[in-house]
């Protein structure tokens, strides 16, 4: 499992550091945290910014939102729980985020981190946001990734920045 020094080396955001510390503490002696055993009420201030994906072994079916906090839902203008990630992400950086980062994090069993400005433009959304995300793979049997839990923050901005899409 990833260590907190790796996290603090890429972000100084108190929310992301608190989230990573929680995930690392939930992992214990395992290689991966078990989402089904997590108590998100240990980090109540972060719950609105948390999202959870079911990640079946058959990636052809896509990754379905098992949970999406209110801040995540507000950002997308709809409740995401039950929807497929691949169907709802309208960002112009879809290939870098969804297939290049989130799917790869699950397949390679690594933590995904993004820090990017994105213009969303679909029939519900037209805005540019600074978005920071971190996604941790989870495993019930400590081998197969069955869920991924993430944290996202959003801020509307007027200008684009250099984007980061990486696996840790």
Q: How far is 32 from 136, CA to CA, in rounded Å?
A: 8
Contact 30, 141 (CB under 8 A): no
pLDDT at 60 over 70: no
pLDDT tens digit string along 81-135?
Answer: 999 998 888 767 888 988 899 999 999 999 999 999 877 666 666 777 899 999 9
What CATH number should be reported for the domain holding residue 38? 3.30.450.20
Question: What is the domain range of residue 33?
Answer: 4-167
Reported as type and span, the H/E element at residue 18 is helix 14-27
Per-residue model confidence (pLDDT) at position 124: 64
Cα–Cα distances (Å) from 87 to 73, 90, 114, 151, in that order, read 15, 8, 20, 19
Counted domains in the chain: 1
């Amino acid at each position: 499992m990833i260590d907190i020094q790796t996290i603090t080396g890429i972000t100084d955001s108190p929310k992301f550091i608190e989230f990573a510390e929680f995930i690392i503490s939930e992992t214990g002696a395992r290689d991966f945290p078990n989402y089904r055993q997590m108590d998100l009420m240990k980090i109540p201030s972060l719950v609105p910014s948390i999202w959870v994906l079911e990640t079946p072994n058959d990636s052809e079916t896509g990754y379905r939102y098992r949970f999406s906090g209110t801040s995540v839902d507000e950002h997308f203008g709809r409740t995401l729980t039950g929807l497929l990630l691949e169907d709802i992400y309208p960002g112009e950086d879809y290939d870098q985020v969804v297939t290049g980062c989130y799917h790869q994090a699950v397949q390679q069993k690594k933590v995904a981190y993004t820090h990017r400005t994105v213009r969303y433009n679909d029939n519900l959304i037209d805005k540019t946001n600074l978005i920071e995300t971190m996604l941790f793979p989870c495993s019930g049997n400590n081998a197969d990734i069955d869920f991924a839990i993430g944290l996202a923050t959003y801020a509307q901005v007027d200008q684009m920045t250099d984007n980061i899409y990486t696996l840790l």
